[in-house]
Amino acid sequence: MRMLNEQKVMRDPIHGYIHVDLQVVWDCINAKEMQRLRRIHQLGGDYFVYHTAEHSRFAHSLGVYEIVRRMLEEVQSLSDYVSAYEKMAVMLAGLLHDLGHGPFSHAFEEISKKRHEEYTVSMILDETGDIYQALVKEHPRLPQDVVSIIQYRYKKECLNQLISGQLDADRMDYLLRDAYFTGTDYGRFDLKRIMRTMRLHDGKIVVKDSGMQSVEDYVMARYHMYWQVYLHPVARSYEKILVALFRRMKTVYQTDPQLLQEVKMFHPFLKEEVADQTALFRLDDCATLYGFSCLQENEDPIIADLAKRLVNRKLFVYETIKDNKQVEDIKHRVSKQGYDLTYYVHVDMISQRPYAPYSGKNEKDAVWILKEDGTVIALEDASVIVQALIHAKVRKDQKIFYPESL
Amino acid sequence: MRMLNEQKVMRDPIHGYIHVDLQVVWDCINAKEMQRLRRIHQLGGDYFVYHTAEHSRFAHSLGVYEIVRRMLEEVQSLSDYVSAYEKMAVMLAGLLHDLGHGPFSHAFEEISKKRHEEYTVSMILDETGDIYQALVKEHPRLPQDVVSIIQYRYKKECLNQLISGQLDADRMDYLLRDAYFTGTDYGRFDLKRIMRTMRLHDGKIVVKDSGMQSVEDYVMARYHMYWQVYLHPVARSYEKILVALFRRMKTVYQTDPQLLQEVKMFHPFLKEEVADQTALFRLDDCATLYGFSCLQENEDPIIADLAKRLVNRKLFVYETIKDNKQVEDIKHRVSKQGYDLTYYVHVDMISQRPYAPYSGKNEKDAVWILKEDGTVIALEDASVIVQALIHAKVRKDQKIFYPESL
Amino acid sequence: MRMLNEQKVMRDPIHGYIHVDLQVVWDCINAKEMQRLRRIHQLGGDYFVYHTAEHSRFAHSLGVYEIVRRMLEEVQSLSDYVSAYEKMAVMLAGLLHDLGHGPFSHAFEEISKKRHEEYTVSMILDETGDIYQALVKEHPRLPQDVVSIIQYRYKKECLNQLISGQLDADRMDYLLRDAYFTGTDYGRFDLKRIMRTMRLHDGKIVVKDSGMQSVEDYVMARYHMYWQVYLHPVARSYEKILVALFRRMKTVYQTDPQLLQEVKMFHPFLKEEVADQTALFRLDDCATLYGFSCLQENEDPIIADLAKRLVNRKLFVYETIKDNKQVEDIKHRVSKQGYDLTYYVHVDMISQRPYAPYSGKNEKDAVWILKEDGTVIALEDASVIVQALIHAKVRKDQKIFYPESL
Amino acid sequence: MRMLNEQKVMRDPIHGYIHVDLQVVWDCINAKEMQRLRRIHQLGGDYFVYHTAEHSRFAHSLGVYEIVRRMLEEVQSLSDYVSAYEKMAVMLAGLLHDLGHGPFSHAFEEISKKRHEEYTVSMILDETGDIYQALVKEHPRLPQDVVSIIQYRYKKECLNQLISGQLDADRMDYLLRDAYFTGTDYGRFDLKRIMRTMRLHDGKIVVKDSGMQSVEDYVMARYHMYWQVYLHPVARSYEKILVALFRRMKTVYQTDPQLLQEVKMFHPFLKEEVADQTALFRLDDCATLYGFSCLQENEDPIIADLAKRLVNRKLFVYETIKDNKQVEDIKHRVSKQGYDLTYYVHVDMISQRPYAPYSGKNEKDAVWILKEDGTVIALEDASVIVQALIHAKVRKDQKIFYPESL
């Protein structure tokens, strides 16, 4: 393993410092695929709700890397169980796991018809890429091993768990980071204590009984962040318009591609076939927003109108749906105003359960608690709080979005 | 109402500043009964667990006052509903509600056989006291009205609720303050948002739907603080010894009072009759700890030993009770070592339910949520989280405490 | 003055909440010129040093507005002195003062040859703009009065001081905000205490003696932020390349404009004449970064290389200049490698004095301290610390920047 | 070196956790001399100014220990230079350096006529003490070596510097801790960055150039804390009365000792000869405050009055001295009211210079900066800020204290 001459550190408000000792980690941070993540907002359209939620996936990726690095250092039993090579691989998996995100990510998956995880894998394995080059320079098997961990397929389950289990470094970083950058308190939980009480037990990550309250707190933090931030109706309004705009562009592109000549960055995503990672690589938030900016003067009035709404934050208003009549009334009024319902009225139902119990099938979905007497049980069996939450009614929210000008 | 020439402010880490405009509030803060609270730890023996939990009931009392003051200022509908006189009375109730606490409070109630609320009332109504004098100087009815609010008997229910409802200024301050001074994160919740979403509705304090998540967070904060701080076994160990020492002193006092001549401060609490507020006034943490210090060389070996344990933090160890055999074994061993079981083995069961629902009887126990459509429902009916929590199993913890030297 | 039906609030990590009561403020926030500031980074290229410094001028503008709003509310003597109309005008001046910033602001002023303050004024006074429309709807004189305050020309000096004095809301917000988003502690100072000790005295803003230490702290915070953040050599390296790229584009544009056809957003800034506010309005960070992205494949090798450096963070390295020989050596080596020195070697000298005293001429440059005895003196005469700092040697830093590949 | 079976941790708001690995450190923490520090306020009478400044010397001592521990871990060059035994000794020196503090410490030194450093040494070397026993159990030379470091006499200068240099763990902890517990921001500085830039160079602790701003910030923090907290006139007022009460008790003790029979804890400090560490051990804040409480009903009216003032916070008022006439006027009025000037009027001058330069004599007084080119220079020669501060006028404050009732 090639070490840097001197440890590099980067100031970070969540973790104090990000520490880098390995050459390959440093090279990946400086790769163009990672630098691109500076131009992808972590929270998509949420900065139209929380005006300071302007942080990028780049910062988050460094944070995930750092949490993995500390877990490997702090959790002695884990540290003893994995080789130096595996430590490197899992830290890199933490760093690179979000590489394939497009702009305004979750909405974008609807548009690109390919999940960001798949793009991530394509990018890491793209032999012409900076990342692939950096990884193979360190070890020929490294790209594949990093991908295995990201895909939750690596042979040592605990490494997969660190990146995408119920209690993984990804979620830990984003809850803390999103709380910090939105200015809300909801995402806070006691990361230090969880780390201190983590152990490796029979090849799995478990948390000692004495850390259970911190885990309960983390479960609640997650639940609160969903409702207060991630599923906020104003952010959903932004995403509805974004998807509508792309849908309209696809239609226009088939009949009159000339109209969209100016916005080349969108072309690969307007075609029938699914776009590859090269197209995605070029489409960051800046390209997207610049594209929208150009579209404001488009000849197609629907495109122009939707683009203006996105650029200038003239979002759709929304109501909680009570009955069908309300929906029909709104559609009627919107239609009467001359709006095309396909693009201008959106019904959207979301639901979120506080905690999903371990089904007994997928280790990925379990959080294990190590009792004082050495037995290991599922979180929901150890915690009266979590036990209660799995029986809680699923909270639902059904809303209708439409133009304000009614 | 007499105003101060200039607003007084006191720096406070929880609220930024405590603001005082009224002469009577200032006079009460400077009264000897309030100054005494500087010598009563807010968290009893908890500073033997969390070494920085050294804050006093004085600071907490200022905090409760400040929260009440801000609620009266921020919640417009509340502000309009109550008179200037009532505002003064409820702020004073917030300031004075803990006046009757003895040292190591909850344990002390076992010793004094009188609840701290009763002592608070006696102290406020003691005509020779500084507090009474300060209050009547402002208005002849004021002592009685402050007491009414503290006793949850004032005619306008909302004022009682501010001081001792489910969502009162008392708990709000202590959760935030105890979290800050222990250095844990558990007690944190979003006070600003709760205040912003509070309303007066039909004479009751309610919280708008949009603040419900902050209330859920507050409910969880309370639950976590109980288990992590207030019911911590090390603090319970301290309190067990404290109660045992007093019990031993009572026995000795009846047979050989001479032995306890030196510790006059304890005498009123060793007699048959319940001690009055004058005795309590004199007994603060300093007097108690100095008393224990003197008792270390007492001729009664049990008293001396227990006192040494308290002064030098040689606390009892503890185990979670699994079965009766374990208890009998411990008793046997302790007894064999020559210890008197009355003082040296303690079995203690605590339980805590996450949230108790509104029974329909006592307004005091309800938190009301104001829905968007103007209806008001109980928190547990509005929140899927709280609904789940009221059905959660009660969490129990049964422990046995005994001397380490076994 | 038109009030909103209900106060609007926006969560903000620095100030808790931003509060909006006035319709005109709300309209300006929603104007397209303000929304554009969401696409301008507050700290230009500093996010290449501090990876979380990704906050926008939009968030900062809200913060300045909020500080002004609170000062008008908290400083009684100030509140009494200014009319409701003036309060509105100065809050709007705080909100709008940064409207004319271009991308990567300070470097950009070198390119646009027009200061951002002038662009701000043009934008506010542009009768076709959203902002102008929103302001005149409230009052015909409002655009001009807001501009007057921003230009430090309003008749009541104190209003000018709030926006651009030595102790203005602008700096107060950016120090706190930049500290928060970089994750450094340097910019911290006690805003609450400064506000509490501010007074209006003879039409000027002064600070009571008892707040002087907080002002000293603020002066130091400013000094530290300059060296640690604003003048960080890596950010300067980014800006050097940015300016070099524009210089190269200007040259190419004159001889072979065809080569730059693709990057229309830059054209107005490549011409002889100074670009107007319409051109600036279109050029935000997104347009710029997308432009750079396109330029990576430009036929002109210098343009392509410099663009790649900016997009992928392959910045110039730097050394502190010791003597002329060192500079000549570097130039020689860079030249030998085939680089054009005009674009590839940059010498840059910066200096910063800790505090500049009041010259007696411009009120703008003074901070006044109100002594207990009622006299008013300059900060540097009241504070032994600041007195010392004005006599401190000016700190200088001269660096040379060049490509790493040497 | 005996290790604990498992690392012990204690939650701490300043450092996250205090970590203990060594048996001897754990034994010392549990020694009665250390437990006594729980009953000594860190900031003497300052909690009468900042009501939350109620933290103890116990918490501070743990903090100093923890900073030393981290420095030994983080500063590689230092870690390599000192043996495991020396690491243990210097951590213990950090833990134990404040053992000999009396109640209300600085005022108390005036009363006891012996500096707390001397008491600390006596307590550590007292063969009957818990501390001595714990230390010799580890190593026969340990008590003496710990004392050497505390006395700045250990052969490796860097170890002395860690405990009592200009940039020592003691000050670092107390600035951060006192800032946290008073709720002020003044004491804040970037401890992490200072640690990261510390190096060992020629056997001395130095700070790399890149950490200089953090050191400047630390110097300013220190200066601000002095004026805002440590030298606050209200705290000085409390201490003036305390000293006056002891002076009065001494006089009475010589003529009529019977009057003071009740307050045995004070006797050793009322005699001619200097009290030994056993007397000091018994006199903590609790004993003192209980003593004052008893003295409120003393037959000597001056004693009773002064005691009441201390117990009930009826402190002396104060004025800044302008001229001699003012002093004489006050004395005249106080005297006319029947007060004995010896006890009731106090003139007090304090001065504080922002930074004292290295005189060239005592290493203890130097902070060394390691330049990029490898040379080492004094902080005041490296920093334009500190250079300015050493030439700043000394700030002085002369006040007169007297009873309010005039």
Does D216 touch chain C if contact means CB atoms closer than 8 Å?
A: yes
Strands laid side by side in the B376-378 sheet: B198-201, B204-208, B368-370, B376-378
Looking at beta carbons, which residues of chain A come within 8 Å of C181? 13, 52
* Whole-number pLDDT of residue D405: 67
Looking at beta carbons, which residues of chain A come within 8 Å of B387? 392-393
* Whole-number pLDDT of residue A405: 67
Q: Do C196 and B16 lie within an 8 Å CB cutoff?
A: no
Q: Do C192 and B9 lie within an 8 Å CB cutoff?
A: no
Average pLDDT value for chain B: 94
φ, ψ for residue A322 (rounded to 5)?
A: -100, -45
Number of C to D CB contacts under 8 A, please give it: 70
Tell me how close the Cα of C56 comes to any Cα of chain A, in angstroms.
Answer: 8
Looking at beta carbons, which residues of chain A come within 8 Å of C311? 32, 35
Distance, in Å, from the CA atom of D253 to the CA atom of D266, rounded to the nearest integer, reads: 10
Share of chain C above pLDDT 70, in %: 100
* Whole-number pLDDT of residue D255: 94
For testing contact with chain B, the best of C20, C190, C192 (most B CBs within 10 A): C192
Distance, in Å, from the CA atom of C311 to the CA atom of A62, rounded to the nearest integer, reads: 19
Burial class (CB in 10 A: 0-12, 13-18, 19+), C374: exposed
Residue of B nearest to C196 (CA): B9
Does B396 touch chain A if contact means CB atoms closer than 8 Å?
A: no
Residue B307 near residue B245, CB atoms below 8 Å? yes
* Whole-number pLDDT of residue A378: 95
Does D230 touch chain C if contact means CB atoms closer than 8 Å?
A: no
Looking at beta carbons, which residues of chain D come within 8 Å of A17? 192, 196
Residue D159 near residue D90, CB atoms below 8 Å? yes
For testing contact with chain C, the best of B12, B196, B372 (most C CBs within 10 A): B196
Looking at residue A268, the DSSP 8-state letter turns out to be G
Looking at beta carbons, which residues of chain C come within 8 Å of A12? 51-52, 183
Which residues does residue D317 pair with via DSSP β-bridges, in sequence order? D402
Strands laid side by side in the C346-352 sheet: C317-320, C395-402, C346-352
- The confidence band for A399, taking pLDDT boundaries of 50, 70 and 90, is very high
User: Which C residues in the span 150-169 are in contact with A, Cβ-Cβ below 8 Å?
Assistant: none
Query: Quick one: which H or E segment has residue D320?
Result: strand D317-320
Q: Chains touching chain C at 3 or more Cβ pairs under 8 angstroms?
A: A, B, D
Nearest to A286 among C62, C289, C312 (CB): C289
Q: Do A51 and C59 lie within an 8 Å CB cutoff?
A: yes
Q: Which distant-in-sequence residues (6+ apart) come within 8 Å of C79 by Cβ?
A: C72, C73, C87
Does A196 touch chain D if contact means CB atoms closer than 8 Å?
A: yes
Report, in angstroms and rounded to the nearest whole number, the Rg of chain B calculated over CA atoms: 23
φ, ψ for residue B283 (rounded to 5)?
A: -100, 95
Least confidently predicted of B186-190, C50-54, D154-158, D233-237:
B186-190
* Whole-number pLDDT of residue C361: 76
Looking at beta carbons, which residues of chain D come within 8 Å of B290? 265, 286-287, 290
Q: Do A16 and D192 lie within an 8 Å CB cutoff?
A: yes
Does C388 touch chain D if contact means CB atoms closer than 8 Å?
A: yes
Looking at residue B130, its amino acid is: D
Distance, in Å, from the CA atom of C18 to the CA atom of C61, rounded to the nearest integer, reads: 11
Q: Do D16 and A196 lie within an 8 Å CB cutoff?
A: no
Q: What is the pLDDT of residues D130-140, one digit of tens each?
A: 999 999 999 99
Tell me how close the Cα of B346 comes to any Cα of chain A, in angstroms.
Answer: 22
- The confidence band for D58, taking pLDDT boundaries of 50, 70 and 90, is very high
Distance, in Å, from the CA atom of A73 to the CA atom of A75, rounded to the nearest integer, reads: 6
Looking at residue B136, its amino acid is: V
Q: Do B188 and A189 lie within an 8 Å CB cutoff?
A: no
Query: Quick one: which H or E segment has residue A236?
Result: helix A233-255
Nearest to C188 among D185, D384, D394 (CB): D185
Distance, in Å, from the CA atom of D265 to the CA atom of D102, rounded to the nearest integer, reads: 12
For range A141-150, the mean pLDDT: 98
Q: Do A39 and C287 lie within an 8 Å CB cutoff?
A: no
Reduced to 3 DSSP states, what percent helix, strand and coil does chain B have, rounded to the nearest 5? 60, 15, 30
Number of A to D CB contacts under 8 A, please give it: 8
Tell me how close the Cα of B371 comes to any Cα of chain C, in angstroms.
Answer: 17
Residue of D nearest to C382 (CA): D395
* Whole-number pLDDT of residue C186: 84
Residue C156 near residue C82, CB atoms below 8 Å? yes
Share of chain D above pLDDT 70, in %: 100
Looking at beta carbons, which residues of chain C come within 8 Å of D184? 190
A368-370 vs A376-378, strand pairing mode: antiparallel
φ, ψ for residue B72 (rounded to 5)?
A: -65, -25
Burial class (CB in 10 A: 0-12, 13-18, 19+), D386: buried
Average pLDDT value for chain A: 94
**Helix/strand/coil (H, E, C) string of chain C?**
CCEEEEEEEEEECCCEEEEEEEHHHHHHHCCHHHHHHHHCECCHHHHHCCCCCCCEHHHHHHHHHHHHHHHHHHCHHHHHHCCHHHHHHHHHHHHHCCCCCCCCHHHHHHHHCCCHHHHHHHHHHCCCCHHHHHHHHHCCCHHHHHHHHHCCCCCCHHHHHHHHCCCCHHHHHHHHHHHHHHCCCCCCCCHHHHHHHEEEECCEEEEEHHHHHHHHHHHHHHHHHHHHHHCCHHHHHHHHHHHHHHHHHHHHHHHCHHHHCCCHHHHHHCCCCCCCHHHHHHCCHHHHHHHHHHHCCCCCHHHHHHHHHHHHCCCCEEEECCCHHHHHHHHHHHHHCCCCHHHHCEEEEEEECCCCCCCCCCHHHCCEEECCCCCEEEHHHHCHHHHHHHCCCCEEEEEEEECCCC
Nearest to D16 among A9, A17, A192 (CB): A192
* Whole-number pLDDT of residue C267: 97
Q: How many CA atoms lie within 13 A of B236 on its CB side?
A: 24
Looking at beta carbons, which residues of chain B come within 8 Å of C16? 192
Does D43 touch chain B if contact means CB atoms closer than 8 Å?
A: no
> Where do we find the tokens 């046997």?
B332
Q: What is the pLDDT of residues D242-257, one digit of tens each?
A: 999 999 999 999 999 9
Does C23 touch chain D if contact means CB atoms closer than 8 Å?
A: no
Q: What is the pLDDT of residues D107-148, one digit of tens each?
A: 888 888 889 999 999 999 999 999 999 999 999 999 999 999
Q: Do A293 and C313 lie within an 8 Å CB cutoff?
A: no
Nearest to C213 among D188, D227, D320 (CB): D227
Q: Which distant-in-sequence residues (6+ apart) come within 8 Å of A106 by Cβ?
A: A44, A239
- The confidence band for C330, taking pLDDT boundaries of 50, 70 and 90, is very high
| pLDDT above 80 for B361 | no
Looking at beta carbons, which residues of chain B come within 8 Å of A384? 354, 392-395
Does D183 touch chain B if contact means CB atoms closer than 8 Å?
A: yes
- The confidence band for A170, taking pLDDT boundaries of 50, 70 and 90, is very high
Does C208 touch chain B if contact means CB atoms closer than 8 Å?
A: no
Distance, in Å, from the CA atom of A29 to the CA atom of A218, rounded to the nearest integer, reads: 29
The DSSP result for D188-206, as a single string, is ---HHHHHHHEEEETTEEE
pTM above 0.90, yes or no: yes
Query: Quick one: which H or E segment has residue B35?
Result: helix B32-36
| pLDDT above 60 for C319 | yes
Residue A96 near residue C88, CB atoms below 8 Å? no
Number of B to C CB contacts under 8 A, please give it: 8
* Whole-number pLDDT of residue C372: 87
Residue A75 near residue A198, CB atoms below 8 Å? yes
- The confidence band for A344, taking pLDDT boundaries of 50, 70 and 90, is very high
Does B356 touch chain A if contact means CB atoms closer than 8 Å?
A: no
Does A355 touch chain C if contact means CB atoms closer than 8 Å?
A: no
Average pLDDT value for chain C: 94
Looking at beta carbons, which residues of chain C come within 8 Å of D185? 188-190, 217
Q: What is the pLDDT of residues C242-297, one digit of tens each?
A: 999 999 999 999 999 999 999 999 999 999 999 999 999 999 999 999 999 999 99
* Whole-number pLDDT of residue B365: 82
Nearest to A184 among C11, C181, C313 (CB): C11
Q: Which distant-in-sequence residues (6+ apart) come within 8 Å of A201 by Cβ?
A: A77, A368, A370, A376
Question: If DSSP codes are grouped into helix, strand and coil, which group holds residue D347?
Answer: strand
Nearest to D389 among C185, C227, C388 (CB): C388
Q: Do C9 and B192 lie within an 8 Å CB cutoff?
A: no
Average pLDDT value for chain D: 94
- The confidence band for C405, taking pLDDT boundaries of 50, 70 and 90, is low
For testing contact with chain C, the best of D213, D214, D380 (most C CBs within 10 A): D213
Nearest to C384 among D185, D186, D392 (CB): D392
Looking at beta carbons, which residues of chain C come within 8 Å of B196? 9, 17
Tell me how close the Cα of C278 comes to any Cα of chain A, in angstroms.
Answer: 14
Residue B163 near residue B97, CB atoms below 8 Å? yes
Least confidently predicted of C224-228, C359-363, D121-125:
C359-363
Distance, in Å, from the CA atom of A247 to the CA atom of A303, rounded to the nearest integer, reads: 10
| pLDDT above 60 for C406 | no
Does B182 touch chain D if contact means CB atoms closer than 8 Å?
A: yes
Least confidently predicted of A17-31, B117-131, C120-134, D363-377:
D363-377
Nearest to C286 among A184, A289, A313 (CB): A289
Q: What is the pLDDT of residues D295-343, one digit of tens each?
A: 999 999 999 999 999 999 999 999 999 999 999 999 999 999 999 999 9
Regarding predicted confidence, which is higher, D79 or A352? D79
